[in-house]
Structure 1
Amino acid sequence: MTAERPLETITIRMLTDRAQVGYATFYRHYASIEDLLRGIVDDLYINLAELLPSLAGAQPERAATLVFHQVREHPGHYRLLLHADRSLGLLDKVVEMGTQALLAAYEARPDSRVPLDVTVDHCIRSFLNLIAWWLSHDMPYAPERMGQIFLDLVLHPMEAMALRPRISLD
């Protein structure tokens, strides 16, 4: 539905009519559209949280590819996330999750002139912008190709300049 009209113009009645559920049924599960959006983002968060931490450090291309597969499976959810009202804090939650995963896998290079917090935020937001571009262009490349593009365009340059993988003591 967000591909058809701006998020802020969607009403609960429109949602319930489109989903073919009763108005009262919506309110049994959600207090508002914002509550529904938070639920969607929570589901995305859970799915991404399962994918990223174990893969981000050792296999960043695989982790990025898995995220693009997730986006391809749920494009409407990601469009909602990327276009939701900033005051809801939904995107901030995803940025925070990505930040934690990246910090678990990387640390600052000792010779970096860019502070770690700036580097990590830039990396996560660049990844989200790449997802937004992919969605807005009707996903013209396979998730595997997008994972490689993320590495070539974002992660490898950041590794060369500011990040290094954490050494695992396992």
Structure 2
Amino acid sequence: MSNSKAIELTETAIAAALALVLSFISVNYAQVFYLELSVIPLLVLALRRGAVWGMAGGLVFGLLLIVLGQATVLTPVQVILEYIVAPVSLGLAGTLRRKDSSKPETILALVFFGVLSKYFWHFIAGVIFWGQYAWKGWGAISYSLVANGISGLATATLASLVLLLISKGAPQIFQRKK
């Protein structure tokens, strides 16, 4: 195995592990609204290494949540959608990276694209699997749109702020690697 491959695997494992730790301190309000800190290290990975490594980090993170019993399980399809497909799609943010991704507009585009990709799948799962828990008088689509929309916007906003602060203090973290 080449040295660069070992570094990429190590960075991916570290990002997934940090995401797991941050998932334990993420904000959860009434099992409906989430502020997911776990997206931050996965977005940094996607920014540094690109979509493939970002998606791999999301996959490892999702599998860790399942294996450690942190997944809310309704059906196998729901678990796959919310704990495999959604975190993997967060890594798609890496498709927007540039040679120097420390520019604020690049960071904002990457974060909002990645988080939007992730929360799209949570929205779909919300309509299909969580709609029965909709507030009185709300349909599954509107309930999922509001719950996941607020969660996604809050998560993207916080992640943007953190990544922008990191880019000011340590821009080398965002320089394209391979």
Greater C-alpha Rg: 1
The TM-score normalised by the length of structure 1 is 0.48
- More contact order relative to length (CA 8 Å, sep ≥ 6): 1
